[in-house]
């Protein structure tokens, strides 16, 4: 099969990349960035129409992309997605496993652990953890030696909070998975790292967070600006490039300094809670 050409001149020119959760937010930004760097990109998402829109935007900008509908929690769908992409573009070089369960009826119900419905826990783990594992399981055999994998974790997997225990625990699991994948396949030159973002100002975040909550988040940061999806995409593009050839098994925090200092906001919240008792 003749391999399609990616955009010439980029540091990922001609490489084949698969991005999951790519219909919006971080995944869409990463798919666009990898394509701009020259990669041939599979834009995978459960939301097929969104994936098609992102792929079309990449093609309109002169890149190469195809849209792939995939529920990452289902092994048959993951296997079919990888097969479809490699049949179109050839062996894989890059995986960005970014899909996560942020549906309102799952993430929105992930509040107090004592009231947590088991189905919310199970669906969170199925998408966030099993989905990442299945993607690794089926992309590594289809990956050329020297490939690179990035998982999207979260600062929620590194520090505790008073809500979203299922989500945070699932992201903690990815930190461990990164180390195992890096260890198991490093002899093939395959690298695996994770990015742990804090608040990222996706369209969904802007719609969901009221002004007072955004102000609270701003008070937690050391820098005057929050992360944007393009900031995560830029780090992902670096991690899968040859410039990061000696970086593997790491979880890199991208949070504008939120977790780099004493959590004064959390301390104030505890003090207010004591007064309310």
Q: Which residues pair with 65 in a beta bridge?
A: 41
Contact criterion met (CB below 8 Å) for 93 and 61: no
- Angle 131-139/165-185 helices, nearest 10 degrees? 20
Alpha-carbon span 261 to 28, nearest angstrom: 31
pTM for this prediction: 0.92
> So what's the pLDDT on residue 4?
60
Phi and psi of 73, rounded to 5°? -80, -10
Cβ atoms of 18 and 96 closer than 8 Å: yes
* pLDDT of amino acid 207: 85
Identify which of 70, 95, 93 has the alpha carbon closest to the alpha carbon of residue 81: 70
Strands annotated E in the chain: 16-20, 40-45, 64-69, 92-97, 143-152, 191-197, 251-254
- Structural domains of the chain ordered from first start: 16-276 (3.40.50.720)
Query: Phi and psi (nearest 5°) for 194?
Result: -125, 150
Does residue 167 have an active-site annotation? yes
Alpha-carbon span 220 to 224, nearest angstrom? 10
- Rounded CA gap, 136 and 110, in Å? 26
The pLDDT value given to residue 264: 67
Q: Which of 107, 167, 180, 185 is catalytic?
A: 167
Tell me what pLDDT residue 2 has. Answer: 47
**Distance, CA of 272 to CA of 31 (rounded, Å):** 43
pLDDT per residue, tens digit, the chain (277 aa), is 345 666 666 899 999 999 999 999 999 999 999 999 999 999 999 999 999 999 999 999 999 999 999 999 999 999 999 999 999 999 999 999 999 999 888 988 999 999 999 999 999 999 999 999 999 999 999 999 999 999 999 999 999 888 899 999 999 999 999 999 999 999 999 999 999 999 999 988 888 888 888 888 888 899 999 999 999 999 999 999 999 999 999 999 999 999 998 766 566 666 777 777 6
Specify the pLDDT at position 208.
Answer: 82
């Amino acid at each position: 099969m003749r391999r399609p050409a990616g955009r010439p001149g980029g540091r990922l020119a001609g490489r084949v990349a698969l991005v999951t959760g790519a219909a919006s937010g971080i995944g869409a930004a990463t798919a666009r960035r990898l394509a701009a760097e020259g990669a041939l990109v599979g834009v995978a998402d459960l939301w097929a129409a969104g994936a098609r829109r992102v792929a079309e935007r990449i093609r309109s900008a002169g890149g190469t992309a195809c849209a792939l509908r995939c529920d990452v929690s289902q092994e048959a769908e993951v296997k079919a997605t990888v097969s479809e992409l490699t049949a179109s573009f050839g062996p894989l070089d890059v995986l960005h496993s970014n899909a996560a369960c942020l549906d309102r009826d799952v993430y929105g119900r992930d509040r107090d652990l004592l009231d947590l419905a088991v189905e919310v826990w199970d669906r969170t783990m199925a998408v966030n953890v099993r989905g990442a594992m299945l993607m690794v399981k089926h992309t590594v055999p289809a990956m050329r030696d020297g490939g690179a994998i990035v998982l999207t974790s979260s600062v929620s997997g590194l520090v505790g909070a008073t809500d979203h225990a299922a989500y945070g625990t699932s992201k903690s699991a990815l930190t461990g998975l990164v180390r195992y994948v890096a260890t198991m396949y490093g002899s093939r030159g395959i690298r695996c790292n994770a990015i742990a973002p804090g608040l990222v100002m996706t369209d969904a975040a802007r719609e969901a967070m009221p002004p007072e909550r955004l102000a609270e988040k701003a008070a937690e940061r050391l820098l005057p600006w929050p992360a944007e999806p393009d900031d995560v995409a830029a780090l992902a593009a670096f991690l899968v490039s040859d410039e990061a050839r000696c970086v593997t098994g790491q979880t890199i925090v991208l949070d504008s300094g939120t977790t780099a200092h004493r959590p004064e906001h959390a301390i104030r919240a505890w003090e207010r809670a004591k007064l309310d008792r």
